[in-house]
C-alpha cells in the first residue's frame, strides 16, 4: 500500500509542476513580446514621426540670418512675436510639450524662441546651463559642431520622460545658425506601458491560481478519491491492513491524510474559514490607521502653507482619535540647563497656552533619557511601572504613555510623548507602528519648523549685509563679492558683458541748495528709477558710493547697452526733480560711462569698471546729461 501511494505522489507532483511552470510562463512571454512590439511600433509610427515632421516644418520657416540678428541685438520685432505665437499654437494643437529654438555653446545653449509660458520661461538671449541628469551631455559637442541628431528618449528628474528632436537651421554657407528643437512628453505612454505590464503580471498570477485549482480538482477526482476507495476495499478483504484510525479519517471526509501536502492544504482551508472574520476586522482597523496616518502626513507636509500650531493640530487630530490619545507633546532637551522645554502640545482638555511648560530633569526623567538617547522607545503602563516613575507621571494625569526620541543630525534633540489619560494599557504592536510613524512625522515637522525659523533669520541677516540702507538696492559689498563670478561664468560661454558707471550731475550743489534730507530723497528716487528700468533678473544695479551707481549687464552687447543707457537718462529726467543749479537741465540728470566686451578669463571686472569710469568722465566733461561708449 505504501509503495502504491508513493508512486501516485511522484506521478502527480511531476504533472502538477509541469503544468504550473510551463503554461503560465509561455503565456506571459508571448504577451510581453506582443506588448513590447506594440509600444515600440506606436513610438516609431506616431511620436517620432510627428516630432521629426514638426521640427522640420519649424526649421524650414526660420531664417538663419534673422536668428543671428536676434542673438546679436537681443531685440524682438513683430516678426519675432508672430513666429513665437505660431510655435505656441503648434504646441497647443499637437501632443508636443515644448518647441524652442536655441544656439548651442559650451556648457549649454542660448535661447532664441521658447514656447514655455510659465514664469520660468527663457527669454531671447537667456543662457541655459546643461546639468548632468537633466540633459544628455554627450550630445552637446555634436550639437555645437552642427551635426544632425536622431530623435532620442531620455528620463529626467525635472521634466520626466522626454522624446527630443533637434533640427538644424542652416545658413547660406550650410553652417548651422541654431536648432529647432521639439520635446514630446513620453510620460503618458510610459505609464500605459507600466499598466499593461502590470496587467500581464496579474494575468499570469491569475493563470497560476486557475491552474492550481484545476490540478487540485483533477488530482482529487482521478487520484485521491480512487486511492481512498482502493484502501477501503483492501481493508474489507484484508482486515488489519489499514488501521482503524485511517479508516475513521477516510469516512469522516479527510480523504487526503496519506499525503502530507494534501493534509496541510485541507486543514489550511478549514482554518482559513475560522479566522477570516478576525482577519477582516484587522484589515479594517489597519485601513483606518493608514487613513488617519495619511491625513496627518498631508497636513504636516503642507506646513509651509499655514501657521505651525494650526497645521500640527489638524494633522494630529485623526491620529489622536484613532489611537485614543488624550495628549501628544513635543519636548526639546535643554541639556545645559538640565530641563526639557515643551515646544508643542496637542491636548483636548486644557487650552494650549496654559499647558506649555518646562520639565525639570528629575530622577525618573534621567532614567528615561538614558534609554531614549540611545534610540530606544518606551511603551509603559503607569500602573506596572516602578513607584517613583508612576508617581511622577500621575502628577500629569498619565495612565499609559509611549516615548519616542527625536534625533537631529545624529544628536539627541528631544522626545515626543503620546499619552492616554483614560485607560491603563500597553499600546499593541499594530498601534505602535502607527505611533512610531506619527512621532517621526511630528518630529520632522517640529525640527523643520525650527530650522526654517533659523534659516529665515539668517537670510534676513544676509540680506541686510548686501542691501544699501538708504536706497534699498544692492551696495558696494554685493558688487565686490560677485564681480569675479560674473567674469568666470561668461568666459565659459564667451558671452558679452556690459558695465555702466552712473553719476548724478552736480549732486553736491543739490545738497547745498536743498539740504541733505532732500538729497537723500533724490538718491532714493534715482535709485528706484534705475532699478525699475533694469528689466532682466540677471542684471544688477548697485550703489557704488555717494551719488555713483554701477550697472552690470551679463549677455548684453554694445547695442543693448546703448539702448539701456538712453532709457536711464530719459527716465531720470522724466522724474522732474527740480535742480536749479544743474547746468544741463532744470531737473536732476545723470551722466553715464558705458563699455562692452566679450568676456574672457584674461580679463577682470576692474578692466570694465576703469573703462566705464573713463567714459563717465568724458560725459561730464562734454556737458553732462548724456552717455559715452567705448568698447573694451
Q: Which residue has the cell 495612565?
A: 399
The rounded distance, in Å, linking the Cα atoms of 248 and 257 is 11
Residue 457 CB burial class (10 angstroms; 0-12, 13-18, ≥19): exposed
Please report the beta strands in 65-188, taking only residues with DSSP state E, as ranges in sequence order.
Answer: 96-105, 108-114, 127-129, 152-156, 160-170, 176-185
CB 473 within 8 A of CB 525: no
Residue with more model confidence, 196 or 507:
507
Residue 109 φ/ψ region, left for φ over 0, alpha for ψ in the -120 to 50 degree band, beta for the rest: beta
For 463-497, write each residue's pLDDT tens digit: 668 888 899 899 998 898 888 888 888 988 889 99
Residue 412 has what pLDDT? 82
CA contacts within 13 A on the Cβ side of 278: 5
Pairing state of beta strands 160-170 and 176-185?
antiparallel
Residue 473 has what pLDDT? 92
pLDDT tier at 630, thresholds 50, 70, 90: very high
Residue with more model confidence, 20 or 456:
456
pLDDT tier at 217, thresholds 50, 70, 90: low
The rounded distance, in Å, linking the Cα atoms of 17 and 215 is 10
How far, in Å, are 69, 171, 177, 318, 559 from residue 65 at the CA level? Answer: 6, 7, 8, 65, 17
Among residues 397, 343, 331, 319, the alpha carbon closest in space to that of 368 is found at 331
Calculate Rg over the CA atoms of the chain: 39
Q: Give the 3-state secondary structure of residue 478.
A: helix
Residue 113 CB burial class (10 angstroms; 0-12, 13-18, ≥19): buried
For 295-332, write each residue's pLDDT tens digit: 655 655 555 544 455 656 666 777 777 778 888 888 77
Residue 617 has what pLDDT? 95
Residue with more model confidence, 283 or 403:
403
pLDDT tier at 243, thresholds 50, 70, 90: low
Question: What single-letter DSSP state applies at residue 625?
Answer: S
For 250-284, write each residue's pLDDT tens digit: 555 544 444 533 443 344 344 445 556 666 776 67
CA contacts within 13 A on the Cβ side of 134: 8
pLDDT tier at 357, thresholds 50, 70, 90: low
Among residues 552, 500, 546, 551, the alpha carbon closest in space to that of 523 is found at 546
Among residues 611, 609, 610, 572, the alpha carbon closest in space to that of 590 is found at 572
Q: What is the dihedral of CA 389, 390, 392, 395, to 10 degrees?
A: 170
Flag whether the pTM goes above 0.75: no
Cell of 503: 553719476
The partner residues of 452 in beta bridges, in order of sequence, read none
Give percent above pLDDT 90 in the chain.
21
Residue 6 has what pLDDT? 43
Residue 199 has what pLDDT? 76
Q: Which residue has the cell 536676434?
A: 70
Residue with more model confidence, 233 or 427:
427
Q: Which of 22-26, 408-412, 624-628 has the lowest mean pLDDT?
A: 22-26
**For the residues 194-205, what does the mean pLDDT come to?**
74
pLDDT tier at 362, thresholds 50, 70, 90: low
The rounded distance, in Å, linking the Cα atoms of 173 and 138 is 26
pLDDT tier at 507, thresholds 50, 70, 90: very high
Residue 531 has what pLDDT? 93
pLDDT tier at 455, thresholds 50, 70, 90: confident
The partner residues of 100 in beta bridges, in order of sequence, read 114, 181
- Per-residue HEC secondary structure of 181-220 comes to EEEEECHHHHHHHHHHHHHHHHHHHHHHHHHHHHHHHHHH
Residue 25 has what pLDDT? 65
Residue 121 has what pLDDT? 77
Residue 519 has what pLDDT? 93
CB 77 within 8 A of CB 184: no
The rounded distance, in Å, linking the Cα atoms of 105 and 144 is 6
Q: Is the pLDDT of residue 44 over 60?
A: no
Residue 484 has what pLDDT? 81
Which residues, other chains included, contact 100 with Cβ-Cβ below 8 Å and sequence gap of 6+? Answer: 111, 112, 113, 114, 115, 116, 122, 181, 183
Q: Is the pLDDT of residue 20 over 60?
A: no
Residue 298 has what pLDDT? 62
For 113-130, write each residue's pLDDT tens digit: 888 877 777 888 888 888
Q: 395 — phi, psi (to 5°)?
A: -60, -25
Residue with more model confidence, 24 or 181:
181
Residue 576 φ/ψ region, left for φ over 0, alpha for ψ in the -120 to 50 degree band, beta for the rest: left
Cell of 314: 489638524
* Positive or negative: CA dihedral 139, 140, 141, 142: positive
Residue with more model confidence, 508 or 370:
508
Pairing state of beta strands 339-347 and 327-334?
antiparallel
Residue with more model confidence, 631 or 218:
631
Cell of 365: 526623567
Q: Give the 3-state secondary structure of residue 131.
A: coil
CA angle 282, 439, 305 (to 5 degrees): 110
Which residues, other chains included, contact 285 with Cβ-Cβ below 8 Å and sequence gap of 6+? Answer: 430
How far, in Å, are 35, 96, 104, 116, 134 from residue 159 at the CA level? Answer: 25, 13, 20, 13, 8
Length of the chain: 632
The partner residues of 155 in beta bridges, in order of sequence, read 161
The rounded distance, in Å, linking the Cα atoms of 192 and 39 is 9
Pairing state of beta strands 496-504 and 540-545?
unpaired
Across the chain, mean pLDDT equals 77
Question: What single-letter DSSP state applies at residue 602?
Answer: T
Residue 621 has what pLDDT? 94
Q: Give the 3-state secondary structure of residue 158.
A: coil
Residue with more model confidence, 307 or 446:
446
Residue 241 has what pLDDT? 47
**Maximum average pLDDT range among 112-116, 217-221, 283-287, 563-567:** 563-567
Residue 580 has what pLDDT? 92
How far, in Å, are 238, 257, 262, 282, 373 from residue 268 at the CA level? Answer: 33, 13, 10, 19, 45
Residue 334 CB burial class (10 angstroms; 0-12, 13-18, ≥19): middle
The rounded distance, in Å, linking the Cα atoms of 74 and 71 is 5
Residue with more model confidence, 293 or 342:
342
pLDDT tier at 151, thresholds 50, 70, 90: confident
Residue 17 has what pLDDT? 52
Amino acid at each position: 500500500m505504501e509503495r502504491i501511494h508513493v508512486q501516485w505522489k511522484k506521478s502527480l507532483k511531476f504533472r502538477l509542476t509541469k503544468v504550473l511552470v510551463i503554461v503560465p510562463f509561455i503565456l506571459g512571454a508571448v504577451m510581453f513580446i506582443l506588448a513590447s512590439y506594440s509600444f515600440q511600433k506606436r513610438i516609431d509610427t506616431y511620436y517620432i514621426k510627428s516630432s521629426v515632421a514638426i521640427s522640420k516644418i519649424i526649421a524650414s520657416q526660420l531664417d538663419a540670418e534673422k536668428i543671428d540678428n536676434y542673438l546679436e541685438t537681443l531685440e524682438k520685432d513683430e516678426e519675432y512675436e508672430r513666429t513665437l505665437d505660431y510655435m505656441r499654437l503648434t504646441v497647443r494643437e499637437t501632443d508636443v510639450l515644448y518647441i524652442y529654438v536655441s544656439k548651442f555653446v559650451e556648457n549649454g545653449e542660448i535661447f532664441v524662441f521658447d514656447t514655455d509660458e510659465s514664469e520660468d520661461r527663457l527669454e531671447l538671449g537667456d543662457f541655459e546651463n546643461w546639468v548632468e541628469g537633466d540633459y544628455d551631455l554627450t550630445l552637446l559637442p555634436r550639437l555645437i559642431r552642427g551635426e544632425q541628431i536622431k530623435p532620442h528618449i531620455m528620463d529626467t528628474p525635472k521634466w520626466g520622460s522626454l522624446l527630443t528632436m533637434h533640427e538644424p537651421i542652416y545658413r547660406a554657407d550650410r553652417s548651422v545658425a541654431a536648432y529647432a528643437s521639439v520635446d514630446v512628453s513620453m510620460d503618458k505612454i510610459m505609464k500605459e506601458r507600466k499598466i499593461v505590464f502590470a496587467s500581464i503580471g496579474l494575468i499570469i498570477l491569475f493563470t497560476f491560481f486557475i491552474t492550481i485549482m484545476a490540478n487540485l480538482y483533477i488530482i482529487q477526482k482521478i487520484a485521491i478519491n480512487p486511492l481512498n476507495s482502493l484502501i477501503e476495499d483492501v481493508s474489507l478483504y484484508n482486515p488489519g491492513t489499514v488501521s482503524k484510525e485511517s479508516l475513521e479519517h477516510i469516512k469522516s471526509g479527510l480523504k487526503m491524510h496519506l499525503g502530507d501536502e494534501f493534509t496541510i492544504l485541507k486543514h489550511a482551508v478549514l482554518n482559513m474559514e475560522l479566522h477570516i472574520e478576525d482577519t477582516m476586522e484587522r484589515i479594517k482597523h489597519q485601513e483606518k490607521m493608514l487613513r488617519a496616518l495619511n491625513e496627518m502626513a498631508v497636513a504636516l507636509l503642507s506646513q509651509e502653507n499655514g501657521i505651525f500650531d494650526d497645521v500640527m493640530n489638524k494633522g494630529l487630530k485623526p491620529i489622536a482619535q484613532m489611537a485614543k490619545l488624550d495628549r501628544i507633546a513635543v519636548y526639546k532637551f535643554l541639556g545645559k540647563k538640565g530641563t526639557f522645554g515643551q515646544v508643542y502640545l496637542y491636548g483636548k482638555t486644557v487650552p494650549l497656552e496654559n499647558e506649555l511648560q518646562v520639565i525639570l530633569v528629575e530622577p525618573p526623567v534621567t532614567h528615561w533619557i538614558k534609554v531614549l538617547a540611545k534610540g530606544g522607545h518606551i511603551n509603559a503602563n503607569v500602573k506596572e511601572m516602578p513607584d517613583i516613575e508612576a508617581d511622577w507621571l500621575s502628577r500629569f494625569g498619565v495612565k499609559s504613555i509611549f516615548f519616542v526620541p527625536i534625533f537631529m543630525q545624529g544628536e539627541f534633540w528631544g522626545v515626543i510623548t503620546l499619552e492616554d489619560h483614560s485607560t491603563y494599557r500597553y499600546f499593541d504592536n499594530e498601534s505602535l507602528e502607527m505611533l512610531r510613524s506619527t512621532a517621526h512625522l511630528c518630529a520632522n515637522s517640529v525640527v523643520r519648523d525650527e530650522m526654517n525659523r533659523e534659516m529665515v533669520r539668517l537670510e534676513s541677516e544676509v540680506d541686510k549685509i548686501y542691501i544699501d540702507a538708504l536706497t534699498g538696492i544692492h551696495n558696494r559689498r554685493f558688487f565686490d563679492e560677485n564681480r569675479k563670478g560674473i567674469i568666470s561664468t561668461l568666459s565659459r560661454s564667451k558671452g558679452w558683458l556690459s558695465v555702466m558707471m552712473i553719476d548724478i550731475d552736480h549732486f553736491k550743489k543739490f545738497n547745498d541748495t536743498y539740504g541733505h534730507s532732500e538729497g537723500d530723497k533724490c538718491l532714493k528716487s534715482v535709485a528706484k528709477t534705475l532699478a525699475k528700468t533694469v528689466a532682466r533678473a540677471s542684471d544688477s544695479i548697485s550703489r557704488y558710493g555717494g551719488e555713483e551707481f554701477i550697472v552690470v549687464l551679463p549677455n548684453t552687447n554694445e547695442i543693448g547697452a546703448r539702448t539701456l543707457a538712453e532709457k536711464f537718462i530719459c527716465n531720470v529726467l522724466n522724474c522732474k526733480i527740480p535742480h536749479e543749479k544743474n547746468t544741463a537741465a532744470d531737473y536732476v540728470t545723470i551722466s553715464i560711462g558705458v563699455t562692452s566686451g566679450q568676456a574672457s578669463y584674461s580679463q577682470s571686472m576692474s578692466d570694465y569698471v576703469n573703462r566705464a569710469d573713463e567714459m563717465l568722465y568724458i560725459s561730464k566733461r562734454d556737458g553732462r546729461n548724456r552717455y559715452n561708449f567705448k568698447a573694451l
